[in-house]
Amino acid sequence: MTAVRVILVEDEPLVAMMMEDLLTDLGCEIAASFGALEAALAWLAAQDTPPDGALLDVNLGGGETVFPLAQRLREQGVPFVFATGYSTLPSGDYPDTPLLRKPVSHEALRPLVAAFKAAA
């Protein structure tokens, strides 16, 4: 079976490396990893085929949020998961989107990756 292609948006390099390892351990291929919103948006716009899923840090550096990318992914039918250190999202626009609390564990991420695989 082909690996699930996932993008990761996480602005903390050490956390991004840990998340990449978790995703890889769960059978994902990291299609791309970004620390900033604009780079992720540009990459997504340049793709002929969208990724199979995405793991998105809610709050990025400089007070930026990942919500513009989440909206683009939603428009393309790409499933995604939010990761945050907070208990709730600062936006009510995504009530059905899974929310992972950091630090993220294999156990928490496993069913979400399974959902990416099922949707691929």
64 HSE (CA, 13 A, CB side): 18
Q: What is the pLDDT of residue 35?
A: 95
User: How many other CB atoms are found less than 10 A from the CB of residue 98?
Assistant: 16
Eight-state DSSP code of residue 2: P
Q: What is the pLDDT of residue 89?
A: 76
Q: What is the pLDDT of residue 58?
A: 94
Task: Give Cβ neighbours of residue 60 (< 8 Å, ≥ 6 apart).
Answer: 9, 11, 35, 36, 37, 66
* pLDDT tens across the length of the chain (120 residues): 578 999 999 999 999 999 999 999 999 999 999 999 999 999 999 999 999 999 999 999 888 999 999 999 999 999 999 999 877 777 778 888 999 999 999 999 999 999 998 988
